[in-house]
Amino acid sequence: MSSHDMETREINTVDKLAREVEARGHGAFVESYDPRDDRMVINMGPVHPSTHGVLRLMLELDGETVVRCLPVIGYLHTGMEKECEDQNWRGAVTIVTRMDYLACLFNEQVYSLAVEGLLGIEVPPRAKYIRTMMAEMYRLSSHLVWWGTQGLDMGAMSAMFYGFRERELLLDFYEMVTGLRMNHGYFIPGGVWEDLPQGWERAVRNITSQMPKRIDDYENLLTMNPVFLERTRGIGVLSSDQARAMCASGPIARASGIDWDLRRDAPYEAYADVSFDVPIATEGDVYARYRVRVAEMRESVKIIEQLAGNMPSGDFKNMDPKIMPPPREDLNRSMEAVIHHFKITTQGYKVPAGETYAFVESPRGELGCYVLSDGGTSPYRCHVRDPSFVNLQTLAPMVEGGLLADLVASIASIDPIMGGVDR
């Protein structure tokens, strides 16, 4: 056989292979395959067990190495910002709470802070304390889901069971207070919808006494686990310059050495009254983000203890009848109360024209809410700056040049919530 024949045969085989791959895999998994330069473009997601929802990644691979990574989002987009424009000011709470569904109370909190800023109303101290305490609990339960899924993605199946077991404690508490296990609509502009129920102190004590021991258990399972260390140390490194360039916030930025926490640096609600540390790491790898989040869980327990111990008495919402429906018993004796009730339930209240930007530190970073009012009964424009959406951009610098198998570790350490990303 001459060398010319061999060459032709090789080209034929290569073309055949390429055709076969395209025919078998196109659209489902392999987007395109060029055997001449060993590069392959594959799709990861939007239905993939490690992409945390409907995240789709287009990956250009050179063998096992990720050359480029491009997140494709929008699979969960439901136009919530537009929907808010058709709701009254109170009703929009039930829309924003569905954005970041693992930390729903933070969405309600930031929206309420924004509307309160426009209304210029006071929130009673008890409402501030209840909100801060419930939000910190949400930070715990959100980090528990992250801990479970981070472990699961690294092959530690039991992490999922333990994380969700403790989360159940917290979900039970939310159910006791708000009647729902998620998407509560509990924080409203002006305070909280209902006071804490009887027996809440015992339930909180139960959580704060159990959690430190449980977090010790988690650390025993994963923190010094050689397999876990091997798969997370030095993986998905994000330098502090990259984090700053990508506008990252929250635990991702803090694990890259950016010392910035809104709870400490711009105290809102009751954070000025509590003492806590802000965990920082400088390595910027998956393991650093792991340690920062676990340390944050311990700090959250401390904050919950302090707030529950100093809970002030008094009103749990601003009782201004122009923005808050009157108590049920007043409707039976006061004509004025009936009128106010009717106005608020049918039309809603008006908010003075203006714009504001409120922000809170959610478990994933800075959660912001830009609200513009035209003086009417519904938001003219309500934009939520979701930290998952912004932090997702740090995925490409983390994974490019790394192995495909390490990609899932990086995704889990970003902890994106697709409801918040797509809104």
Partner 1 sequence: MELVSGREWHDRARELHDGNWQLVDLTAIDRLRLIESDPRFEVVVQLVNHETKERMTLHVTAEGEPPTVASVTPIWPGANFFEREVYDLMGIVFDGHPNLIRIMLPEDWEGHPLRKDYGVGKVPIDFVPQPLIQIDAPGQSPRNDEAAIRLDRLGQAVVEGDQP
Interface residues toward partner 1, by CB under 8 A: 27, 31-32, 39, 41, 58, 60, 67-68, 70, 72-74, 77, 79, 81-82, 86, 244-248, 258, 260, 265-266, 355, 357, 359, 366, 368, 370, 372, 374, 380-381, 383, 385, 389-390, 392-393, 422-423
- Minimum Å gap between C-beta 395 and partner 1 is 11
Q: Going by C-beta distance under 8 Å and a sequence separation of 6 or more, which residues neighbour residue 18?
A: 33, 34, 35
Closest CA to 418 of 204, 179, 99, 145: 99
- Minimum Å gap between C-beta 295 and partner 1 is 21
- Minimum Å gap between C-beta 74 and partner 1 is 4
For residues 253 and 75, what is the distance between their CA atoms, to the nearest angstrom? Answer: 26
The angle that helices 125-153 and 104-119 make with each other, rounded to 10 degrees, is 150
Q: Are 332 and 149 in contact (CB under 8 A)?
A: no
Other Cβ atoms less than 10 A from the Cβ of 175: the count is 13
Q: What single string gives the DSSP state of each residue in 52-121?
A: TTT-EEEEEEETTEEEEEEEE--TT---HHHHHTTS-TTTTHHHHTTSSTTSHHHHHHHHHHHHHHHHT-
Give the nearer residue to partner 1 in terms of CB position, either 80 or 308: 80
Q: Please provide the size of the chain in residues.
A: 423
Give the angle subtended at the CA of 166 by the CAs of 165 and 170, to the nearest 5°: 120
- Minimum Å gap between C-beta 35 and partner 1 is 14
Give the nearer residue to partner 1 in terms of CB position, either 70 or 319: 70
Give the nearer residue to partner 1 in terms of CB position, either 277 or 374: 374
E strand map for 267-335: none
Q: Are 190 and 320 in contact (CB under 8 A)?
A: yes
- Minimum Å gap between C-beta 421 and partner 1 is 9
For residues 226 and 229, what is the distance between their CA atoms, to the nearest angstrom? Answer: 5
Give the angle subtended at the CA of 359 by the CAs of 53 and 56, to the nearest 5°: 20
Give the nearer residue to partner 1 in terms of CB position, either 139 or 423: 423
What Rg do the C-alpha atoms of the chain give, in angstroms?
Answer: 25
- Minimum Å gap between C-beta 79 and partner 1 is 6
Give the angle subtended at the CA of 153 by the CAs of 96 and 226, to the nearest 5°: 130
- Minimum Å gap between C-beta 65 and partner 1 is 13
Give the nearer residue to partner 1 in terms of CB position, either 76 or 403: 76
Give the nearer residue to partner 1 in terms of CB position, either 166 or 415: 415
The two structure tokens encoding residue 98: 């569905």
| Half-sphere exposure for 167 (CA within 13 Å, toward CB) | 21
Give the nearer residue to partner 1 in terms of CB position, either 125 or 257: 257
| Alpha-helical regions (H) of 154-282 | 157-178, 200-218, 226-232, 240-245, 251-255, 262-265
- Minimum Å gap between C-beta 377 and partner 1 is 14
Give the nearer residue to partner 1 in terms of CB position, either 68 or 298: 68
The helix/strand/coil state of 406 is helix
Give the nearer residue to partner 1 in terms of CB position, either 222 or 281: 281
Give the nearer residue to partner 1 in terms of CB position, either 295 or 392: 392
Give the nearer residue to partner 1 in terms of CB position, either 25 or 325: 25
- Minimum Å gap between C-beta 34 and partner 1 is 8
Sole residue written with tokens 């945390």: 52
- Minimum Å gap between C-beta 67 and partner 1 is 7
For residues 388 and 366, what is the distance between their CA atoms, to the nearest angstrom? Answer: 9
- Minimum Å gap between C-beta 394 and partner 1 is 9
